[in-house]
Structure 1
Amino acid sequence: MKDAVDSLIEKFAIEITSELRDYLRFLYENLHLEELSDKEQHYFIDYFYKSEALRNMAAFALELADIMQEIQENIPTIEQAERLANGKEQRLYYEHKWEEVRRHKLKHQTRKKGNILYVPFNEYKKDPGPIIICLEQTTGMEAYTELCKSMILPLFMSAHREQRDLYIVPYDYQIHVHYRFENGHLNLSDFKDFMEYKAKGEAAILPVLHFVKGLLQENQHCGEADIIIFTEGRPIDGQHLVGKQTKTMLEEMKKKYHAEFSVIAMHEHNFNEQQFWFANKAIFADDAIQ
């Protein structure tokens, strides 16, 4: 029986090697290409053939399965055995899962004082917050750009399944542009721009953290937010992360917006644990780079 990718290849009369077929299948599954129109799918496949970088990223992602799994564990995901084929059934399943999580959280956050129960219903009503990816794009990160972007690709699937907005914020010493993929849905123009985006110079971490705070303020009606920072590990203003003003801001983000921070550093020896004190989890890409 033909799968969706085989049908797509046949529909557009594509000549493709088995290796490229695997790469395209990975992208099809993670980016939900079935939601695109025929014209958009044809455009994507044409871009896939023309973009060596995109093919390399898909290859990286397939090779780095273990690291991909570790990254995705930072975000609530459904076990492989529980994944459902039908999109509508899948959406209903995820809504049910989130409802269970909310009820569990409500139960544990309910306080009793005397004969009075204090129930935080305002938290119960909140939708899951956004996934915000901060991607350092500097001279020092140039060699790791494709690696980092390949790690980001599976997060489209997580955002889509959980109906969460996915933000990608490239940064150097400031923020030049950012991309929002509503509920994890693919926007071809923004996706292509993100794939081809490059910056130079050094990295400053404070501007991107302030920008993230602004995004959280825009989404304050939502619940937990996941912030994932890709970095070489040596921002020029890293010493300010331990300053009183920055600590206050980060603690507010964690408490008020339920922000969970993960840092993916290219090398462990570059990672300053004291400066990145706010990270709930740190992942080192040394093994993948080697």
Structure 2
Amino acid sequence: MSDALQALIEKLDIEITLEQRNYLRFLYEHLHLEELSDKEQQYFIDYFFKSEPLRNMAAFALELADIMQEMQENMPAIEQAERLANGREQRLYYERKWAERRRQQLKQQITKNDNVLYVPFHYHKKEPGPIIICLEQTTGMAAYSELCKSMILPWFMNAHHEGRDLYIVPYDRQIHVHYRFENGHLNVADFKSFIEYKASGEAAMLPVLQFVKALLQENQQGTEADIILFTEGAPVDGQHLVSKQAKMMLEEMTQKYHAEFLVIAMHEEHFNKQQFWFAHKAFFADNAIQ
């Protein structure tokens, strides 16, 4: 446990079990809570003891550490060795890595006509794009809500380390609210709202994908966007994902914003790979649920 957290617990004279200490340690490490003011940290700790869902999320996250590490290691520019680097070295590492990636992309974008080389330098100047997590919150997903939210926690660390905005977009048939965590920094009020957010009904995929496209259009200075879709695997409009209009939209997101789509489905048997043709990778939570 960090010295700052230990000092705060002692200052608040809180009785805490070893299990609770482990949960708080995980949350402090992945949400960078030490960057909050003492008052905000105190508020978070108080909320931690009041919120059973938050404690359950931390417990799930610890139990699923190996699975989540596998998912994170399949995200661009996220490797275990990188996450272990110290703060300054880590920032420099990511700066070098993004610079190298931009150089490689620039090289791939260069075209030649006779003896003239066309070099798109405007592309080279772009910064890494956002991480956008779309979380299905429906009647069918209610049993898995805390599990899915626990899987989201490590992406706060990834966004923070890479200096990328993290968006969390709960959805059912439409989008009622979304949360933006600038450069992965925690906003306690929005985080609390995210933890407590619930919806019902069924899920539609096209509205959330259209919403993601709008977010990407707002972040035109960035590229290499990562889109993570949590789903039960059977959206009511799944057949429309293979329509010409949907394919054009998704192909534009991939080509223009270099979006990478990762799907995390609750059950493999419900997953229709033809409908999710645009996914670069898919994980199935069946084993974790059992």
Which TM-score bucket, shorter chain as reference? over 0.9
- Report the residue type matching 2:274 in the other structure: Q
Q: In the alignment, is the contact (CA less than 8 A) between 2:164 and 2:182 conserved in 1?
A: yes
- Report the residue type matching 1:77 in the other structure: I
Q: Which residue of 1 aligns with 2:109?
A: 109
Q: In the alignment, is the contact (CA less than 8 A) between 2:8 and 2:42 conserved in 1?
A: no
Q: Which residue of 2 aligns with 1:43?
A: 43
State percent identity of aligned pairs.
73
- Report the residue type matching 1:74 in the other structure: M
Distance in 2 between residues matched to 1:52 and 1:80, nearest whole Å = 33
Return the offset for 1:100.
2.3
- Report the residue type matching 2:149 in the other structure: K
Return the offset for 1:83.
2.9
Distance in 2 between residues matched to 1:8 and 1:14, nearest whole Å = 9
Distance in 2 between residues matched to 1:17 and 1:28, nearest whole Å = 16
1:79 aligns with 2:80: yes
**Equivalence map 1:200-211=2 (5 Å):** 200-211=200-211
- Report the residue type matching 2:84 in the other structure: R
Mark the CA change 1:235 to 1:121 in structure 2 (over 3 Å): closer, same or farther. Answer: same
**Equivalence map 1:1-290=2 (5 Å):** 3-72=3-72, 73-80=74-81, 83-86=84-87, 88-290=88-290
Question: Normalization by structure 1: what TM-score?
Answer: 0.94
Distance in 1 between residues matched to 2:159 and 2:11, nearest whole Å = 28
Distance in 2 between residues matched to 1:208 and 1:59, nearest whole Å = 29
- Report the residue type matching 2:55 in the other structure: R
5+ long unaligned stretches in structure 1: none
- Report the residue type matching 2:259 in the other structure: A
5+ long unaligned stretches in structure 2: none
Distance in 1 between residues matched to 2:57 and 2:66, nearest whole Å = 15
Return the offset for 1:17.
1.2
Three-state SS of the structure 1 residue aligned to 2:154 is helix
Cα deviation code 1:106-132 (max 9, x no counterpart): 234333444333322122110000001
Distance in 1 between residues matched to 2:33 and 2:182, nearest whole Å = 15
- Report the residue type matching 1:143 in the other structure: A
Return the offset for 1:4.
4.2
Question: Normalization by structure 2: what TM-score?
Answer: 0.94
Return the offset for 1:93.
3.2
* Paired residues, number: 289
Mark the CA change 1:6 to 1:75 in structure 2 (over 3 Å): closer, same or farther. Answer: farther
Three-state SS of the structure 2 residue aligned to 1:234 is coil
Distance in 2 between residues matched to 1:122 and 1:79, nearest whole Å = 32
Q: In the alignment, is the contact (CA less than 8 A) between 2:83 and 2:90 conserved in 1?
A: no
Q: In the alignment, is the contact (CA less than 8 A) between 2:31 and 2:156 conserved in 1?
A: yes
Three-state SS of the structure 1 residue aligned to 2:127 is coil
Q: In the alignment, is the contact (CA less than 8 A) between 1:75 and 1:158 conserved in 2?
A: no
Distance in 2 between residues matched to 1:82 and 1:2, nearest whole Å = 17
Return the offset for 1:81.
6.1
Distance in 2 between residues matched to 1:22 and 1:5, nearest whole Å = 12
Distance in 1 between residues matched to 2:140 and 2:82, nearest whole Å = 40
- Report the residue type matching 2:57 in the other structure: M
Return the offset for 1:69.
1.1
Cα deviation code 1:52-102 (max 9, x no counterpart): 11011011011001210122122422433663334x443333222222222
